[in-house]
A and B are shown apart, each in its own frame.
Chain A
């Protein structure tokens, strides 16, 4: 009773409270630790602490041959292992001046786009889960992704860390009958995307939680080095697959979805529409795969001439860059990985200052980070 009387005193004021969000928190998508300074419900400041998943992959790269490093790239962005494989393999091929045949190009494109669909599905599902749409959207998305994962399992014998791309080709040819499986999946997924639009995209509660929350302007995004769907959501039409085509992306017709104001909803919507576009690319590619042998004739070791290469690819989360320095030996002298999530996360304190704690969770979910590639 006495306590209550004290609390009613006119000198009552709120003090800043420090709340530790993570490193073990369901909505930090891995082991991220955010130190939030709160004034009541309002976030005054936020300090991200990284490094809980630091495995020193860049140092490991200096002690492995070029081929031995491919499986490590799986462990960067583990939701899009194929895309990481591709980025690394393309960089080494550019360093070596190694050509690959047409069939390899097509297979790589199809596989990578399928992985993009899978990655975006996880992103959408977990984002909805973070907002409190308990389990249903997440399970729907995982149900769809399961079809892709099963296909990859058949392709390379692994469900999450594929190690499928090889320097100069791929590990295996496409399994027989894969055309029909993929075509069926495209038909299936298109129907499901309409369902997600009804279920989530224009849902009143979902809109009120995500619209005008965490608005990122185009200038801020570029200044912070934000790339991928987060950058496109600001209305800036920038996709490496279109602007600086690698592989064979210049042969396919597809659009680049952009947002209008760069809020959380736009980031979600861009991802959903990118699934549509990826399906378009897969559909065009699957019918045009030429004959040939895609299996790489892998040397025991590769010895690139002394030099350096910086190559970027468009990953589901943004631009992944590999900076590889060769000194003419069998191992790279330096292998720097520029990961998209790292730069995307650095803008988070800017976005959530002044928002509620619950909105901070929403913004973090919409940025869609994977700690594996942030901490490396």
Chain B
């Protein structure tokens, strides 16, 4: 099993899902994420393990990156979905892999990607009240430490 073979299979089963084939990854359409994920998990490919979920801010878009692992074929597959900056929403994979729960919460926390139908989409590391997304490239580091205004030493004090 290799990448071109898999892309061919995907094209047969779910036509139009694959957008692009990169050297080590497959890019799919956002709408076809759930059918493609279900196909990868439940058929003979048996990607039983969602190893890692993360995102990369490419400035003009946000790239969702899923690493799926198949114990049967000993194969790590990189699945990508491009999200436009003005609509950062994508279906959650929690229904298929429970590991998606926390990993998606982390991606939401750091990138602000909204996962639809996620059972418990809260920030996981940063404070709930915070509105920034620190791993975005346009994140401007705020002044975390505000020193109290010093009045200086008073003469003869």
Asked, given contacts A223-B97, A225-B51, whether A343 binds B102 with beta carbons under 8 Å apart, the answer is: yes
Given A223-B98, A310-B78, A342-B102, are A56 and B52 neighbors across the interface (CB < 8 Å)? no
Please list the 10 inter-chain residue pairs (A to B) with the smallest Cβ-Cβ separation, ordered nearest first.
A225-B99, A51-B125, A338-B52, A54-B125, A336-B54, A346-B102, A334-B56, A223-B98, A224-B98, A222-B48
Contact bitstring A44-80, B, C-beta under 8 A = 1, else 0? 0000001100101011000000000000000000000
Specify which chain B residues have a CB less than 8 angstroms from the CB of A336 in the assembled complex: 52, 54, 65
The reply to whether the CB of B81 lies closer than 8 angstroms to some CB of chain A is no
Residues A343 and B135 in contact, CB atoms below 8 Å apart: no
Min C-beta distance of A286 to chain B, whole Å: 30
User: Assuming A323-B52, A375-B125, is B99 touching A238 (CB within 8 A)?
Assistant: no
Say if the beta carbon of B114 comes within 8 Å of chain A.
no
Q: Which residues of B contact A (CB under 8 A)?
A: 23-25, 48-52, 54, 56-57, 65, 67, 71, 74, 76, 78, 97-99, 101-103, 106, 110, 123-127, 134-135, 139
Known A58-B135, A346-B101: A238·B71 in contact at CB below 8 Å: yes
Residues of chain B with a CB closer than 8 A to A54's CB: 125-126
Instruction: Judge whether B67 and A310 touch: CB under 8 Å.
Output: yes
Does A333 belong to the interface (CB within 8 Å)?
Answer: yes
Do residues B51 and A325 form an inter-chain contact, with CB atoms below 8 A? no
Contacting pair A50 B97 (CB below 8 A): no
| Chain A residue at smallest Cβ distance from B65 | A323
Q: What is the total of A-B residue contacts with beta carbons within 8 Å?
A: 77
Does residue A244 face the partner (Cβ distance < 8 Å to B)?
Answer: yes
A225-284 with Cβ < 8 A to chain B: 225, 238, 243-244
Give me 6 other A-B pairs in contact (C-beta within 8 A), A222-B71, A346-B98 excluded. Answer: A50-B124, A51-B126, A58-B135, A307-B23, A336-B52, A342-B103
Whether a CB of chain B sits under 8 angstroms from the CB of A321 is: yes
Contact across chains for B51 and A338 when beta carbons are under 8 A apart: yes
- Could you tell me which A residues sit within 8 Å of B by CB distance? 50-51, 54, 56, 58-59, 220, 222-225, 238, 243-244, 307-308, 310, 312, 319, 321, 323, 325, 333-334, 336, 338, 342-343, 346-347, 375-376
Task: Please determine whether A50 and B125 come into contact, CB atoms closer than 8 angstroms.
Answer: yes
Flag if A323 contacts B135 (CB, 8 Å).
Answer: no
Contacts of B97 in A (CB 8 A): 223, 225
B98: which A residues are within 8 A, CB to CB?
A: 220, 223-225, 346-347
Question: Contact between B50 and A225 (Cβ–Cβ < 8 Å)?
Answer: yes
Is there contact, CB below 8 Å, between A59 and B135? yes
Chain B residues with CB under 8 Å of A310's CB are: 52, 67, 76, 78
Among residues of B, the one whose C-beta sits closest to the C-beta of A345 is: B102
Give the shortest distance, in Å, between A334 (CB) and chain B (any CB).
Answer: 5
- In the complex, the answer to whether A321 meets B51 with C-beta atoms within 8 Å is yes
Give the CA-CA distance A146 to B48 in the complex, in Å. 40
Cβ–Cβ < 8 Å partners of A225 in chain B: 49-51, 97-99, 103
Given A51-B124, A51-B125, A54-B126: A223 and B99 within 8 A (CB)? yes
A308-B24 in contact (CB<8A): yes
Closest to A310 in B: B67
Can you name 14 A-B pairs with beta carbons within 8 Å? A51-B123, A54-B125, A54-B126, A58-B110, A225-B49, A312-B76, A323-B52, A334-B56, A334-B57, A336-B52, A336-B65, A338-B52, A343-B102, A375-B125
Min CB distance A228 to B, Å, is: 13
Q: Pick the contact of A321 from B24, B67, B74, B106 — CB < 8 Å?
A: B67
**Is A224 a contact partner of B99 (Cβ separation < 8 A)?**
yes
* Identity of the chain A residue whose Cβ is nearest the Cβ of B124 in the assembled complex: A50
Are A333 and B134 closer than 8 Å at their CB atoms? no
A75 → chain B closest CB, angstroms? 15
CB distance from A52 to the nearest CB of B (A): 9
Instruction: For the complex, give the distance between the alpha carbons of A312 and B101 in Å.
Output: 21
Task: Give complex CA distance A243, B71 in Å.
Answer: 10
CB distance from A95 to the nearest CB of B (A): 12
- What residues on A are CB-neighbors of B135 within 8 Å? 58-59
Contact between A243 and B74, CB atoms less than 8 A apart: yes
Smallest CB–CB gap between A53 and chain B, Å? 9
Docked Cα-Cα span, A58 to B76, in Å, equals: 22
Q: Which residue of chain A has its CB nearest to the CB of B127? A: A51
* Bound CA span A347–B127, Å: 22
A81 to chain B, nearest CB (A): 22
A320 to B41, CA, bound (A): 22
Complexed CA–CA distance, A338 and B49 (Å): 14
Among A54, A307, A334, the one with the most B-chain Cβ atoms within 10 Å of its Cβ is A334
Query: Which residues on the B side are within 8 Å of A244 (C-beta)?
Result: 74
Among the interface residues B74, B76, B102, B103, which one has the most CB atoms of the partner chain A within 10 A? B102
Bound-state CA distance A56–B126 (Å) is 10
Q: Which A residue sits closest to B67, measured CB to CB?
A: A310
* Residue of B51, B56, B127 ringed by the most chain A CB atoms within 10 A: B51
